[in-house]
Chains A and B, each alone.
Chain A
Amino acid sequence: MSVNSETQDVVLSVQQVGKLYSRRPSDVRRRLSAAAWRAFLNLKAPAITNKRDREFWAVSNVSFELRRGEAVGIIGLNGSGKTTTLRMLAGQILPDAGRIELTGTSAAMIDLTAGFQRSASGYENIFLRAAALGLNRDQTRQHLDEIVEFCELGSALEAPLVSYSSGMQMRLAFSIMAIVSPDVLLIDEVLAVGDFRFRQKCLGKIREMRARSAFVLVSHSMGDIRNFCDRVLVMHKGNVYFQGEPDEAIRVYEELDADTPSQTPDQKLIAAMGPTFTNDSALELVEHEWVDEHMNVVEQVQFDQAFALRVRLQSNIDLPSITIGIPVWNMNAQYVTGLSTQIQSDAFSLKAGSPSEFLLKVEPGMINPGTIKSMLTVLSGAEFFYRVPNPDLVIGPTGHPTWGAITIPHNWIKLH
């Protein structure tokens, strides 16, 4: 499969998504009021660059891609952020960091009552739920027999939904969803309330739908996860603790308990680097890459070799004064240094519609061998326009020993 067609097959792309919650309602209201005033005054959304003590990332740095026909499982202990992640994927709540891109259509089975009216009959709810999924009454009528047959609810469809058990509601919800056959189907444990036979019927139907759809399945049933999913994310304390083959993921999950630290070293690094943010309406066509002294793009340089970061971008608005900053971390998640335009006396500016190019030159022999992680941030005042990781750069070994993360220029002189 070519790279291009692989890209086209991606129906859901999740990049470093995070959700910030607070233990105190006053913090939630504070953020909401800031967002409300900015929306009211037609200003850009405030980026979350710092959080208060009582705030916490309920979900942090979740990234994965989902291709048509694939099924990704999400497992984890209670409160690990599975449902919050799924709600963000479904667009029920917005992420506070990162980006979710959905190609095509989606439907979610997160709450059984979603799209239903409890006082209406089962029949009427078929039309209501289908309408919420984009079908008009005629289209729904064409599929009505199929839905009625699949859900096996018979005369109970005449009764109001309020009299249904959760299993019956799940039957109805799933039957409608199966007819609609979206590009991405998000399912959160709701299948668990169905009886064994109907659950098998649902899984069979999902298998049929795999030719057209992709799935994200949250479940505590390891059997379903093992049989059905291609990949599994293990979530723990809001982070993706493990991502990989189902069997391995289940093993990792079964070893988890509430005392397990939330992050592996990799995740610590991601957390240290903080959220990503883009504002496409302000800055676009942003490219940033490491180059050597001949302006060739590089992934590795020698310790005693000069290198630079080349940044190209185009602003859609006039920005009389911008700051470009490059925070740098090593692989141990230590914040090594920051390379900012703020220490220069001349501020950079951007003109709307004109492409701009910047070069950050770094002297040789400053950063000690190892891989460096860094982030390109562009801001004006307190307003962030761009905050995205640069490509990794490997600083090659040197003939002499080094200590710590950086080597500052120094000379030893013998005085006596």
Chain B
Amino acid sequence: MPDDASSKMQQDAPSKTLYLPDSRYSVGPFAAITAIVREIFQYRSHALTLFSNDFKASYRGTTFGVLWNFILPLVPISVYLLLVNIRVFPAYDGMEPALFLGFNVMFWYFITGLVLRPIDVVKSKAASSMKTSLPLSVAISSSFAQLCFDGLVRLGLVVALVLVFRDWPNPNFLGLIFTLLVSLTFCLSAGLIFSIFNMAYSDTQRLVGIFLQYGLFLSGVIFPMSSMGRISILEVWNPFAVFVGASRDYLFVGSYAHPEALGVWGFVSLVMFITGVRFFYTMEQRVRGLT
């Protein structure tokens, strides 16, 4: 029996909807995925409006206006580029340091955004979602639109660096697409799972934040894993190191040194995705109204 959002209309013959204390517990993973996709499609105009509101609100009242939305995403990368220019970092395996860092930081902020944004959104919108009847999945999608915008701005800078340094990519599209799929499903699933647990255990958000701050340095984003001594063992055990390394190497080198590790993490991502989406869908109604 399907469970739907509070206010809903369908043009079909009368359907039955049950609201029970254990609603959605018996929903399977594929039904949950379909239901969430349907929700997002139904409320896509809301998601776009929310994105547009948040986009405008972020620069409202400032002197530079919309320019801030292009400047701020570039700040993290520009800090590292500055450090490269004053030669704080060594030369990297065959790549321009600026490009190495630019790409890694762009990719890192994109995939970790998929973890952090659902946690933020569920925390901030759970209370109001009960009143607005807007599914939390819609608010999360709208925040992903902002994440995509930031990612595109950073990608623009990476393209500029490629042009400046003439360090042309040698892409392996199959590997790159697979890596992107694995990274996105892994991070999205983690984000959905943590977003719900954060409502029960408020420490979750802080712990994830700390973990990712360390992760920036332990995932080969700033320093190549090969230069990190004993920590280099994380090259295959740390999924973020695998995702960052594989995406960069499949784009610029055309091959990745640890495809088996990527395969294993791909399997883990699939399991997490199936579990995470179902878990989020089951619990979404239960966190509404909570602060």
Contacts and interface: CB of A to CB of B under 8 A. Distances in A.
Interface of A: 11, 25, 28-29, 32-33, 35-36, 38-40, 42, 44-45, 47-48, 87-108, 110-111, 113-117, 119-120, 124, 127-128, 131-135, 137, 180, 182-183, 277-281
Q: Which of A106, A111, A117 has the most CB of B within 10 A?
A: A117
Nearest to B133: A114
Given A102-B16, A131-B46, A93 B130 contact: yes
A51 to B, nearest CB: 13
A2 B283 CA distance: 41
B16 A101 contact: yes
B19 A91 contact: yes
A93 B46 contact: no
23 contacts: A29-B199, A32-B290, A33-B201, A35-B286, A36-B286, A38-B25, A44-B22, A45-B21, A91-B19, A94-B20, A94-B285, A99-B19, A101-B18, A103-B14, A103-B16, A105-B14, A106-B6, A113-B131, A114-B131, A115-B7, A115-B132, A119-B49, A134-B10
B46 A101 contact: no
A127 B25 CA distance: 33
Given A36-B286, A99-B19, 5 more contacts: A32-B286, A33-B197, A119-B56, A131-B42, A180-B9
Contacts, number: 171
B14 A35 contact: no
B9 A47 contact: no
A180 to B, nearest CB: 5
B251 to A, nearest CB: 35
A183 B133 CA distance: 18
Interface residues of B, number: 53
B209 interface: no
Interface in B275-291: 275, 278-279, 282-283, 285-291
A94 B19 contact: yes
B200 A29 contact: yes
Interface in B1-56: 3-11, 14-23, 25-26, 42-46, 49-50, 53, 56
Q: Which of A11, A25, A87, A278 has the most CB of B within 10 A?
A: A87
B242 interface: no
A91 B42 contact: no
A98 to B, nearest CB: 8
Contact of A90 (B7, B18, B22, B279): B7
Nearest to B54: A119
Nearest to A35: B286
A55 to B, nearest CB: 14
B200 A107 contact: no
Nearest to B25: A45
A38 B53 CA distance: 37
A135 B283 CA distance: 27
A125 to B, nearest CB: 9
A29 B196 CA distance: 11
Q: Which of A44, A89, A114, A135 has the most CB of B within 10 A?
A: A114
A35 B283 contact: yes
Given A39-B279, A132-B43, A134-B42, A91 B3 contact: yes
A36 B200 contact: yes
Contact of A106 (B7, B134, B199, B275): B7
A128 B42 contact: no
B241 interface: no
Given A32-B200, A36-B197, A36-B200, A91 B5 contact: yes
Contacts of A107: 7-9
